[in-house]
Amino acid sequence: MLKPPDTVSIEFVRGMLSGVGYPSKSCADYLAAASIDPALIEQPSSRITSDQYVALFGLLMERLNDEFLGFLSRPLRRGGFEFILRSILGASTLGHAMHRMGKALYLLQDDFEFVYPIEGDIAGLRIVFKSSAGDRVFLHEMTIRAFWRLIVWLHGERLRTVRFDFAFPTPTHASEYKRVFPGPLRFDQPHTTFWFEAKSLDAPMLRDEKAMRDFLALAPGFIIIPKVSEHSVTARVRAYLHSRRPEWPNLAATADALNMSSSTLQRHLAEEGATFQSVKNQLRLDAAIVRLDSGGISLAALALELGFADSASFQRAFKLWTGSPPGAYRRFGPASESAESAEPAEPPAAALPP
């Protein structure tokens, strides 16, 4: 089954660019170089494709020669992450590898350190900042995400995350965190920490030189784009709807395909903070953004593909979801010269299709 498309909130893009002085003029240059319309960054509801997000991250690393994107008092030069990863080779257990990782990172920068608290049957990796660099939310997000992903990989993708703590107030884009950090979340904590079962510290470290090379070949996308659980009900609904497009089955048909009643499906989705309609609309939005960015499909054809009655209905829904017309999402893409780039006037408001 084809993997459903995924997108990233513009709030994470703003955060990424805050290390280079967003909203400075250079930020618009970075966005354009990554084929992202700079106007989108001023729309709080807009999104970009995961490929664009990875491209922007890589472009910033290359131009700044800094794997921490300008957030620290001194750059972490290209190759720094590989140095940290190589320091882990030969460690006997996951706990041993984590301590080696922390020592290597400490040699390369001065702004924070890792500590490893243990509370009962859970253990953690905690970021302790020693400079004002810790005032930036994205630095917490990026650091805990990168090293959480690394530790999960070291454990063979079997590590169960118990909880994520964040040392800042609940951000405006907190609803996006469930797409990035799979587990319970707590904000306004003394330190940013991710917690896991303490018994995992004694797990043998099985990764070798070849595995490390494979890991680095997939970075940074493997690290900064979350690996979405394929077992959650939300993910199963997304996968089923994606496989059936442009039919876009209703709640009853989807529940039947997943071997459960409609009420059971709704209950499971509610437990994951979603509804059937919200999952369906998010998938249609993600698919629309990816299609607009990657090809010259007409708006009429895209509307039908996404289950809308006509182009006007699609454009109305898209602008409601993102704050921008569809044309803004392909102005910098390969279809920038398409005849559809200039959007017609917005039609009168009307109810969105189910």
- Scanning the chain, the segments in alpha helix (DSSP H) are 10-17, 25-33, 50-64, 80-88, 94-108, 137-154, 209-218, 221-224, 233-244, 251-257, 262-271, 276-294, 299-305, 311-322
Q: What is the pLDDT of residue 327?
A: 84
**Radius of gyration of the chain from its Cα atoms, rounded to whole angstroms:** 22
CB distance 41 to 27 below 8 Å: yes
- Return d(Cα 243, Cα 166) in angstroms, integer: 36
Q: What is the DSSP letter of 159?
A: P
If we measure between CA atoms, which residue out of 309, 237, 301, 232 comes closest to residue 272?
A: 232
Q: Which residues contact 244 (CB under 8 A, 6 or more apart)?
A: none
The domains of the chain are located at: 7-74, 80-223
Q: What is the pLDDT of residue 175?
A: 87
Q: Which residues contact 173 (CB under 8 A, 6 or more apart)?
A: 9, 11, 12
pTM greater than 0.85? no
Q: What is the pLDDT of residue 230?
A: 64
Q: What is the pLDDT of residue 107?
A: 94
Helix (H, G, I), strand (E, B) or coil at 172: coil
Q: What is the pLDDT along the chain (354 residues), one digit of tens a residue?
A: 467 788 999 999 999 999 998 888 789 999 999 989 898 998 889 999 998 999 999 999 999 999 999 999 999 999 999 999 999 999 999 999 999 999 999 999 999 999 999 999 999 999 999 999 899 999 999 999 999 999 999 998 889 899 999 999 999 999 889 888 988 999 999 999 999 999 999 999 888 899 999 988 888 887 777 666 667 899 899 999 999 988 999 999 999 999 999 999 999 999 888 899 999 999 999 999 999 987 778 999 999 999 999 999 999 999 999 988 998 887 554 334 433 333 333 333 333 445
Q: What is the pLDDT of residue 220?
A: 82
Q: What is the pLDDT of residue 228?
A: 61
- Return d(Cα 265, Cα 53) in angstroms, integer: 32
Q: What is the pLDDT of residue 70?
A: 94
Q: How many CA atoms are closer than 13 Å to the CA of 80, on its beta-carbon side?
A: 20
DSSP symbols for 166-203: -SSPPPTTGGGGGGTS-S-EE-S-SSEEEEEEGGGGGS
Q: What is the pLDDT of residue 331?
A: 55
CB distance 124 to 155 below 8 Å: no
Output the six-digit token pair for 202. Answer: 């004694």
Cα angle: 49, vertex 50, 55; to 5 degrees = 100
Output the six-digit token pair for 255. Answer: 């529940």
